[in-house]
Amino acid sequence: MNVIGPHIKRLRHKNHITQEELTARCNLIGWNISRGTLAKIESQIRRVTDSEVELIAKVLKVEISELYKDSM
């Protein structure tokens, strides 16, 4: 369903961020997302909109292209 899920998980682990911490950061910038939804995104079960990709890149402090690395 999405190609960025594994990259989100990789970046999250690289930065020692839990799913709970990442969802809290997303909520702070206005994206109301639960830990369960993030888990579904990371496991490629849930689709991700363009605006959500932009938000997750902002929270992870990476360029959007980093989320698609090796996927294109």
Length of the chain, in residues: 72
| pTM, to two decimals | 0.93
Domain ranges in the chain are 5-67
Q: How confident is the model at residue 1, as a pLDDT?
A: 85
Q: How confident is the model at residue 5, as a pLDDT?
A: 98
Name the band, by pLDDT with cuts 50, 70 and 90, for residue 71.
low
Q: How far apart are CA 69 and CA 33, in angstroms?
A: 24
Q: How far apart are CA 29 and CA 6, in angstroms?
A: 22
Under 8 Å between Cβ of 60 and 15: yes
- Give Cβ neighbours of residue 50 (< 8 Å, ≥ 6 apart): none
C-alpha dist (Å) from residue 23 to 13, 27, 70, 71, 72: 14, 6, 25, 24, 26
**pLDDT tens-digit map of 1-57:** 899 999 999 999 999 999 999 999 999 999 999 999 999 999 999 999 999 999 999
CATH of 5-67, one of 3.90.1150.10, 1.10.10.10, 1.10.260.40, 1.10.3720.10: 1.10.260.40
